[in-house]
Structure 1
Amino acid sequence: MTDWDGLLKKEEQTVFRLRALFEQYGYRKFKMSKFEEYDFYAENRSFLTTKNIITFQGLQGHLLALKPDVTLSIVKHTKGNYDCPERVYYNENVYRARKDDGEYKEIMQVGLEYIGEVDDYAVSEVVLLAKKSLDSISSRSVLNISHMGFVQGLLEETALPPSQQEKILVCIGEKNAHGIAQICKENGVSEELTRRLQTLASLHGSLAEILPKAKALCGNEKAEQAIGELERLYANLKACVYDHGIHLDFSIVNDMDYYNGIIFQGFVDGIPTGVLSGGRYDNLVHKCGKNADALGFAVYMDMLERYGEEEKSYDVDALLLCDENTDTIGKLRAVQMLQSMGLSVAVQKQDDGRLKYKQLCRLSESGVEVIG
């Protein structure tokens, strides 16, 4: 039997495990085109994580764009609604400019979307799948959760214009207590509310530890509803005995125009940046005219390309040298013989130094001999 795990790269093994996991929960594969009409992305540019889009002229004269985002395409084509949810997963490449050098890159993503009525069960299912996805990558993983409704609730208490609330939101994401204090002071926000916002930015830890502290910060109905949802989520995860490695971290913030509920990021030991992110994005679905809410996440496979992968000291087990007079059947039989011994084999006329090998062999009239 072929040892497929031994032949597949780490990220390829992860893709197969994730697909099997998603299908266990009734998610079906969603296949889409590599490109959409550019106007579709232009109309929804505020929902994209990148402002740079690769475009080209289609044969019929339409301006097309290589897909910079998967979620938008799924929302455009979904049939999910409040009465009948749609569960889909995907394994797709997107085309974005890299943050480090600004150059375009093809990035593989594996993820899922739940589109329909996002009730407590749907939230629990998606969060559970996010944590199980991380666990399929590493036994040492953490899923950090926040709630934009809770953060928005506290920000709305300031009664500041959206531009100033956004500045405070950035400071919360940076855990910048001094920055929060400065903005609040300049805008006449009370010391008591300033303190609560500073405390919010520093809250991080297990659900059991942080939920009571977060609840003490509530000052309006929106924040209280968000905490209630988080408490029910915790109870559901605990009942499934799957609340380990799931933390609350309210410094996880995102665009308030896009996300409106639970948001989360996933990390695995050995990779300094997040490998998974997701959340609830009802606003996008409604903007596209769909009668549904939505929740989903993506795993960034490009982050896993070298994770847990040992650098091989050789390219092939055996390099078999054959001169130009050796007949083809003789070469094929020699290769079969070496492969039957569990060796990988490459055939060449000479050792040109470009291929690393364990053994150097030569095929002669007397058979295969090891020469180095």
Structure 2
Amino acid sequence: MTNIQTLDTPTLLLDHQKLLKNISDIADFANEQGVSYRPHIKTHKSVRIAQLQVEAGAVGITTAKISEAEVMAAGGIKDILIAYPISNPDKITRLIKLLHKGVRLKVSVDNPESLHFLQRRLEHTPYTLEVWIKVNSGLNRCGVEPGKEALLVAKAIMSHSKLKLGGIFTHAGHSYAAKTYEEIESIGLQEGLAVVESASECEQAGIPIPVRSVGSTPTFKIAGKVAGVTEIRPGNAVFFDAIQVGLGVTNIENCAVTLLASVVGVYKDRIIFDTGSKSLCLDKGAHGNQTVSGFGEIIGHPEVLIERLSEEHGVGVFEQKTDLKLNDKVQIIPNHACTVVNQFEEYVVHENGHVIDIWKVDARGMVK
């Protein structure tokens, strides 16, 4: 068997046992709470991993973009939520093609105007499109305000013959900016309530809301316990990363993805790795997270801080002596696994340091 230490670098490594443990942990939580599990695949972008999640009990998947949905559908995944607003006519044509292929599609809406675009393109087809209302639970990105604004969109959906209201959902991405776990707990509670209270507003007006869905890896085990929530959609929890460790969401031992890197330069005040911004990414969290130091955690070498990145160089500094030398190889836990995975074409899957398989990052670069 090939030892990972013999591989060329930089290489994207995936610990098979940690992956399966993380998938099982999410599925177990969903079963315990009596909620459905619809993981976001923007983290792993892999048909193989999506299939493992479905085998573990996921009712379907979530994607960010249509192109991701197209790749997953081609790989046999047939129940897909596209958690992104869509009104462009060309993109709606692509939605119709997915419906034609038998995909049980759901699409995010938060604007009555977008409903007209969807209705117009669907009118000359035999299909009805399921739409879910996105509510804003504090991230202040997409989404209507919970409650009465959600009801207005729900009423508008009911007036369109080619649209079917299937659920209400939200994403508490601002949890990544939390400074304490207590703050994450508060955000998670508000996340669940934003969905449940919006659904209640609609149902009091006679509009049923079958699915009440929450997301965000830091909060899904909090929002998922709110009475009335029926589904969770964590993405990053399949791998975890240094940001999740910094937030107190998980332990470093659960991080399934690492980058194998080589030492290419050793100097009296710094050490250089062959993992720059084109592999590790210049990411410390999209929503203001400050719980990470540097640009990745080097396993077994806490004395080295990756202080800065250029395109092909990771510059490490050390206050105490390090035994790393030229051509040594290390594993680096990335700050943000989602962006790092998108830089690579394949995972090298390993167990106990030995390569067991190669899996393609099928939806790499699918951003349209």
TM bucket normalised to smaller: under 0.3
TM-score (norm: length of structure 1):
0.22
Q: Which has the higher helix share?
A: 1
TM-score (norm: length of structure 2):
0.23
Larger Rg: 1
Structure of greater relative contact order (alpha carbons < 8 Å, 6+ residues apart)? 2
